[in-house]
Chain A
Amino acid sequence: GAGVSQSPRYKVAKRGQDVALRCDPISGHVSLFWYQQALGQGPEFLTYFQNEAQLDKSGLPSDRFFAERPEGSVSTLKIQRTQQEDSAVYLCASSSKIKTGTYEQYFGPGTRLTVT
């Protein structure tokens, strides 16, 4: 595709509900990242995949957060038993190169999650 796409663009969940956020990276990009952006803040790293392998999940705030990328393409970020503090924009980014740290990440439009 032309860019990184994310769905849904907006999600309202009642506290305690489970949600699943989808990311379609740019075709052929091996690296995929998830970030969380709270209101008025910069994006914060959640997790990183290289192909289907989850290489870094140090940013996941709790065990309610789970991410997968089973076929090395589409990724899903799942949040179980949502809490109000989970309200944020969830950004997905992908990149084509493997060499650590020296490549551009292309961002999707984000999913705005509101937990009521």
Chain B
Amino acid sequence: EDQVTQSPEALRLQEGESSSLNCSYTVSGLRGLFWYRQDPGKGPEFLFTLYSAGEEKEKERLKATLTKKESFLHITAPKPEDSATYLCAVQPIYNFNKFYFGSGTKLNVKP
């Protein structure tokens, strides 16, 4: 069964304290892995797409990496405005119309 597990569920950081969020996935064949940011009361906002193991994408203080079993979202020197829930989703090859989402990591960055 296709499954996405994110850890930790919640993470509290001091401003400037770098860390990583984990997304472990089980899927028969991976078409793409997607990272989203979701602010309270809003819809998820697209951040990155990763397609194959070894691929990396960067945007400002965020860097996403992908292996055959998991993806990491590295946050370097975070700021309070990075506080949000970060969601990971996988798109299977055989059923590419359906995205499987994890439950997210709620990040809180304190000034």
B is bound to A: no
B interface list, Cβ under 8 A from A:
none
